[in-house]
C-alpha cells in the first residue's frame, strides 16, 4: 500500500480494514462463548448498567450527529463515514451521570443530561461497531457512571512519543470512556513543551547527553552515549488538545515544581539556589537540584504558566509537588533567611509556601492545582486537589480535610510495574500490578465515612516511562490494565465479576491485536500461591480465573497431570511447572517454581508488625515455604515489604529439633528506596518463654539486587525469635533522602 500523504494512524486504520473479514470470523468464535449470542458481540468494557439486545443488527451502518453534538464530529468521522441517518439526541436533566442508548432497526437514539454523558453513549456505539465488523446490534442500554474523574497519565519526559502516538493513546482513552489525560511534560530528564519566552528550555532543557541502559539498580550503571530529546511545539499541543476535546477528554498538563526541575535549572542555573551549572539528568531518580523560592524563580514559573494556560482549557494545572529534596534549601542562606522572615518552622513549610505562591497565581487565572500527595506536607491551599500515589494514606488525609482527591496508589494504578510474574516480562521499574489487582480496586478507602468519601472524585492509571522507550511498549504496559481500570471506575465493586470480565477482555485483545496494537495478554497465566502448612508442609495452591480452564502440574520428572483440587503438596526438591488449557484446548504459558524443602516448611510464623498493605506477600507463610522470590522483582507473592519498620517474627516449629543454620534473602533497590537492613538478631527457645541469642549479623552488603545472608545456629529449639533492623532514614544525596527506607524480605530458610 502506498503510504505517501497519510499518517501512521491512518495507515494503521486502513490496513486493519483490509483484514476485517478475518477479524470478524475470530470474533464469531470468541463471542460464541458465555453469555453472548453467536451473531452479535456485546462484550463491552466497561460493562453497562442495564443491557438488552436482539440477535440481529440495525440496518444503520453510518450516521451524522445533531448540531448539539457537533463537538464530536471529528472523532466520529474517523470511524463513521456516512451521513444517511441522524442520531436523535434528547437532553434529560434528570438523568444525572447517565445515558440511555437505543439502537433500533432504522434509528439510533441517545438520551442524556448533557453532551458529556452523550459522549459516553458514543463510546459505547464505537465499541459495538468495532466488535461487530462495522454493524450496530439492535440493543437498549441504560448506563450510569460511578466516578466523575476517570484518568490516564503518560510521562513523555523520560521517553518521548510522537503527536500521532499521543493521539492513538487518546483514542484508547475515548474507547474506554476515560475523560482526563494527564500529560507529564517537565522533568529532570527533559522539558517537553515549547515556552517561547525561554528559548533555552528548547535548546538545552529538552535534550540529555545520554540515557541509562538497563535497570537503575544494575551495577555498574551503563549509558548509551546517544543524545536524546525533543519537545512539543505550542501548535502541536493545540492540535493534541483539540483532538482530545473532540473525544470528550480534558488534557491536564503537569509542570513539575519545586522538585524534578533539573532540566530547567540546566537551562537557567539562576533558578536554583546555588546558581551553579548542571546538566539535564541522564539517569532516573530524584535529584537535589530544585527550584529556589526567590522572586526570580516565581517570575519564571508565572511566565511559563502564562504560556501554558492558553494552550489548555482544563480547569486543572498539575504542579507535581512530589519528591522535592530539601538539601539545597537547608544549605541556602537565602532560604534560611526567608523561612525566618515568613515564620516557617522547617523546609516542609517552605515547600508549602512555594506551592502556595503558584497556586494563588493560578487561582487568579481561574485554574485549580492538582499535586501529588506530598503537597499535604507543611499545609495546603484551600481548593487544591490531591493525587494520592504513596498508597491511600494521603488521599484519606486530604478527604478528611475537605480536599478533593484522585486516587492513584502504586499498588493498583501504576502501570509501569510488572503485570505478570512470568520470567520473560520486559524490564520494568519494579513492583507487581496485575490486571486483576486493577480490576478489583476499591477506589473509596474503607476508612472514610460516607461524607468524607464524597471528596474522592475518581482514580487514574499512571504510565511512567523510565523503562518504556517505544509506543508499542506503552501499549503493552497500559492497554490491558486500562480496560480493567475503566470498569473499576465505571461500576461499583459489588457488581464486578472478574472471570466474566476476562471473557470480555479476550474479545478486546483479539480486536486490538488485529488492529496492530500491542495489548498484553496474561489471561492464560496461572496464579500459584505456595503456603507452608504445619501438617502438610509446603502446598502449591493453583488457580486460573478464566472460565472453564483446566489446570495441570508438571512434576520434577517432566510428567503432566491434571489437577482436580487446585492444590499440590510439594515434597520433591526440584522444578515444578503449572499451566492451563481452556475449553478450546488453547494452552497458556507454563509457570515454573523451584522448590527446596527445609525445616520451616511445617512451621507457623507470627509477625510483630504486619507488612505494608502494598506489598503483603501472598500469605504470611511465604517467608518459610521453600520457594525463593524473584531475583529481579520485589513485588509478587514471595516478597514482603516493610515501610520504615523493623521486621520482627516468632516462628514455631512443629517439634523441637536440631537447627544447623539459618539464611535470609533481602532485596536491594536504592532507586526505589529499598535498602538492606542494619542488623539481624536470632534468638532460640525450647519452651517459647526463655530465649537466648544464637546468631547475629551487623554487616550486610551485596553488589547484586538480592542479598543472601547465611548464619550458623548450632542449637536445638522449637521456637525462634527474629528481629531485622530497618535501614532507617535515607541519607543525604540518595534518592528519597529524608524518607524512611523500605525493607523487603523473602525466604527464611533453616537447615
Indicate the pLDDT class of residue 606, thresholds 50, 70 and 90: very high
C-alpha cell recorded at residue 134: 462495522
Class of domain 32-144 (CATH, top level): alpha beta
Residue 22: pLDDT over 50: no
C-alpha cell recorded at residue 138: 439492535
Strand partners, 552: 562, 579
Residue 603: pLDDT over 70: yes
Long-range contacts formed by 164-171: CB under 8 A, 24+ apart? 164/7, 164/8, 164/9, 165/471, 165/474, 166/240, 167/9, 167/240, 167/243, 168/9, 168/12, 168/471, 169/471, 169/474, 170/240, 170/243, 170/244, 170/247, 170/249, 171/9, 171/247
Residue position matching grid coordinates 511559563: 304
Mean pLDDT of 259-281: 97
Q: What is the pLDDT of residues 108-154, one digit of tens each?
A: 999 999 999 999 999 999 999 999 999 999 999 999 999 999 999 99
| Among the ranges given (277-281, 346-350, 635-639, 684-688), the one the predictor scored with the smallest mean pLDDT | 635-639
In this structure, what are the phi and psi dihedrals at residue 310, rounded to the nearest 5 degrees? -65, -20
Residue position matching grid coordinates 453497562: 48
For residues 16 and 708, which has the higher predicted lDDT (pLDDT)? 708
C-alpha atoms less than 13 angstroms from C-alpha of 27 in its C-beta half-sphere: 28
* CB-count burial class (<10 Å; 0-12, 13-18, 19+) for 200: middle
The SS3 of residue 689 is coil
Q: What is the pLDDT of residues 361-414, one digit of tens each?
A: 999 999 999 999 999 998 898 999 999 999 999 999 999 999 999 999 999 999
Q: Tell me the C-alpha distance between 210 and 492, whole Å.
A: 46
Class of domain 524-597 (CATH, top level): mainly beta
Q: What is the pLDDT of residues 654-702, one digit of tens each?
A: 999 999 999 999 999 988 899 999 999 999 999 999 999 999 999 999 9
Contact indicator for 721, 691 with CB cutoff of 8 Å: yes
Other beta carbons within 10 Å of 619:
16
pLDDT score of 6: 38
Other beta carbons within 10 Å of 335:
20
The SS3 of residue 75 is helix
pLDDT score of 12: 43
Residue position matching grid coordinates 505517501: 4
In this structure, what are the phi and psi dihedrals at residue 342, rounded to the nearest 5 degrees? -90, 0
Q: What is the CATH number of domain 598-751?
A: 2.60.120.260
Q: What is the pLDDT of residues 180-237, one digit of tens each?
A: 999 999 999 999 999 999 999 999 999 999 999 999 988 789 999 999 999 999 999 9
Residue 549: pLDDT over 90: no
Mean pLDDT of 471-497: 97
pLDDT score of 301: 98
* CB-count burial class (<10 Å; 0-12, 13-18, 19+) for 170: buried
Mean pLDDT of the chain: 92
For residues 46 and 431, which has the higher predicted lDDT (pLDDT)? 46
pLDDT score of 538: 95
Can you name the CATH fold of 149-384+399-405+432-514? Answer: TIM Barrel (3.20.20)
The SS3 of residue 110 is strand
Indicate the pLDDT class of residue 552, thresholds 50, 70 and 90: very high
Residue 570: pLDDT over 70: yes
Q: Which of 114, 104, 112, 111 lies closest to 71 in space, CA to CA?
A: 114
Q: Calculate the alpha carbon distances from 603 to 367, 535, 597, 744 in Å.
A: 58, 9, 12, 21
Q: Tell me the C-alpha distance between 72 and 65, whole Å.
A: 8
C-alpha cell recorded at residue 526: 496461572
Domain boundaries, the chain: 32-144, 149-384+399-405+432-514, 524-597, 598-751
Q: Calculate the alpha carbon distances from 549 to 28, 404, 410, 588 in Å.
A: 20, 43, 30, 10
pLDDT score of 415: 98
Q: For residue 281, is it left (φ>0), alpha (ψ between -120 and 50) or beta?
A: beta
The SS3 of residue 368 is strand
Mean pLDDT of 695-724: 95
Indicate the pLDDT class of residue 423, thresholds 50, 70 and 90: confident
Amino acid at each position: 500500500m502506498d503510504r505517501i500523504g497519510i499518517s501512521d494512524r491512518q495507515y494503521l486504520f486502513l490496513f486493519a480494514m483490509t483484514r476485517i473479514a478475518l477479524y470478524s470470523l475470530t470474533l464469531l468464535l470468541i463471542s460464541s462463548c458465555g453469555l453472548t449470542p453467536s451473531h452479535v458481540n456485546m462484550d463491552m468494557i466497561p460493562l453497562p448498567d442495564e443491557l438488552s439486545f436482539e440477535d440481529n443488527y440495525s440496518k444503520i451502518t453510518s450516521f451524522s450527529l445533531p448540531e448539539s453534538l457537533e463537538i464530536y464530529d471529528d472523532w466520529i468521522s474517523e470511524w463513521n463515514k456516512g451521513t444517511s441517518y441522524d442520531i436523535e439526541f434528547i437532553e434529560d436533566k434528570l438523568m444525572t451521570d447517565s445515558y440511555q442508548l437505543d439502537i433500533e432497526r432504522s434509528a439510533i437514539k441517545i438520551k442524556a443530561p448533557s453532551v458529556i454523558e452523550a459522549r459516553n453513549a458514543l463510546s459505547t456505539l464505537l465499541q459495538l461497531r468495532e466488535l461487530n465488523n462495522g454493524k450496530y446490534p439492535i440493543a437498549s442500554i441504560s448506563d450510569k457512571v460511578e466516578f466523575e474523574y476517570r484518568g490516564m497519565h503518560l510521562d513523555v519526559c523520560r521517553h518521548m512519543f510522537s503527536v500521532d502516538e499521543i493521539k492513538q493513546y487518546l483514542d484508547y482513552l475515548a474507547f474506554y470512556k476515560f475523560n482526563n489525560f494527564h500529560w507529564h511534560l517537565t522533568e529532570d530528564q527533559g522539558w517537553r513543551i515549547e515556552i517561547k519566552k525561554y528559548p533555552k528550555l528548547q535548546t538545552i532543557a529538552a535534550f540529555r547527553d545520554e540515557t541509562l541502559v538497563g535497570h537503575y539498580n544494575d551495577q555498574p550503571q551503563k549509558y548509551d552515549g546517544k543524545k536524546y530529546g525533543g519537545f512539543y511545539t505550542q501548535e502541536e499541543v493545540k492540535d493534541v488538545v483539540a483532538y482530545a476535546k473532540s473525544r470528550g477528554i480534558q488534557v491536564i498538563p503537569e509542570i513539575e515544581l519545586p522538585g524534578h526541575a533539573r532540566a530547567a535549572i540546566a537551562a537557567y542555573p539562576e533558578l536554583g539556589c546555588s546558581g551553579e551549572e548542571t546538566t539535564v539528568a541522564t539517569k532516573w531518580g530524584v535529584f537535589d537540584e530544585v527550584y529556589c523560592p526567590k522572586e526570580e524563580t516565581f517570575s519564571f514559573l508565572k511566565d511559563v504558566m502564562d504560556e501554558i494556560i492558553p494552550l489548555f482549557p482544563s480547569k486543572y494545572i498539575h504542579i507535581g509537588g512530589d519528591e522535592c529534596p530539601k538539601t539545597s534549601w537547608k544549605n541556602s542562606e537565602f532560604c534560611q533567611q526567608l523561612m525566618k522572615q515568613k515564620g516557617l518552622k522547617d523546609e516542609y513549610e517552605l515547600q508549602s509556601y512555594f506551592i502556595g505562591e503558584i497556586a494563588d497565581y493560578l487561582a487568579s487565572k481561574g485554574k485549580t492545582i492538582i499535586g501529588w500527595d506530598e503537597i499535604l506536607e507543611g499545609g495546603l491551599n484551600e481548593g487544591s486537589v490531591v493525587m494520592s500515589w504513596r498508597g491511600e494514606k494521603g488521599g484519606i488525609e486530604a478527604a478528611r480535610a475537605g480536599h478533593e482527591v484522585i486516587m492513584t496508589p502504586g499498588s493498583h494504578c501504576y502501570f509501569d510495574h510488572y503485570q505478570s510474574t512470568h520470567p520473560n516480562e520486559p524490564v520494568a521499574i519494579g513492583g507487581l500490578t496485575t490486571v486483576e489487582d486493577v480490576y478489583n480496586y476499591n477506589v473509596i478507602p474503607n476508612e472514610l465515612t460516607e461524607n468524607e468519601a464524597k471528596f474522592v472524585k475518581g482514580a487514574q492509571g499512571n504510565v511512567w516511562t523510565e523503562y518504556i522507550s517505544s509506543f508499542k511498549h506503552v501499549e503493552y504496559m497500559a492497554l490491558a490494565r486500562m480496560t480493567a481500570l475503566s470498569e473499576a471506575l465505571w461500576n461499583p465493586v459489588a457488581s464486578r465479576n472478574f472471570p466474566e470480565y476476562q471473557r470480555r477482555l479476550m474479545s478486546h485483545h483479539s480486536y486490538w491485536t488485529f488492529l496492530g496494537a500491542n495489548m498484553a495478554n496474561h489471561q492464560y497465566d496461572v496464579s500459584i500461591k505456595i503456603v507452608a502448612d504445619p501438617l502438610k508442609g509446603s502446598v502449591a495452591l493453583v488457580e486460573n480465573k478464566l472460565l472453564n480452564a483446566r489446570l495441570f502440574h508438571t512434576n520434577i520428572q517432566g510428567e503432566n497431570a491434571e489437577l482436580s483440587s487446585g492444590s499440590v503438596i510439594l515434597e520433591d526438591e526440584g522444578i515444578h511447572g503449572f499451566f492451563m488449557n481452556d475449553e478450546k484446548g488453547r494452552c497458556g504459558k507454563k509457570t515454573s517454581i523451584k522448590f527446596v524443602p527445609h525445616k520451616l516448611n511445617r512451621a507457623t510464623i507470627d509477625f510483630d508488625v504486619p507488612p505494608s498493605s502494598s506489598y503483603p506477600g501472598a500469605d504470611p507463610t511465604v517467608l518459610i515455604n521453600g520457594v525463593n522470590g524473584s531475583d529481579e522483582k520485589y513485588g509478587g507473592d514471595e516478597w514482603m515489604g516493610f515501610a520504615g519498620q523493623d521486621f520482627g517474627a516468632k516462628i514455631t516449629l512443629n517439634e523441637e529439633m536440631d537447627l544447623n543454620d539459618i539464611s535470609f534473602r533481602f532485596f536491594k533497590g536504592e532507586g526505589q528506596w529499598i535498602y538492606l537492613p542494619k542488623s539481624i538478631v536470632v534468638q532460640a527457645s525450647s519452651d517459647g518463654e526463655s530465649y537466648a541469642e544464637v546468631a547475629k549479623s551487623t554487616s550486610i552488603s551485596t553488589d547484586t539486587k538480592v542479598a543472601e545472608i547465611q548464619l550458623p545456629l548450632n542449637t536445638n529449639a522449637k521456637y525462634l525469635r527474629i528481629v531485622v533492623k530497618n535501614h532507617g532514614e535515607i541519607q543525604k544525596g540518595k534518592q528519597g533522602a529524608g524518607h524512611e527506607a523500605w525493607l523487603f524480605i523473602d525466604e527464611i530458610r533453616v537447615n
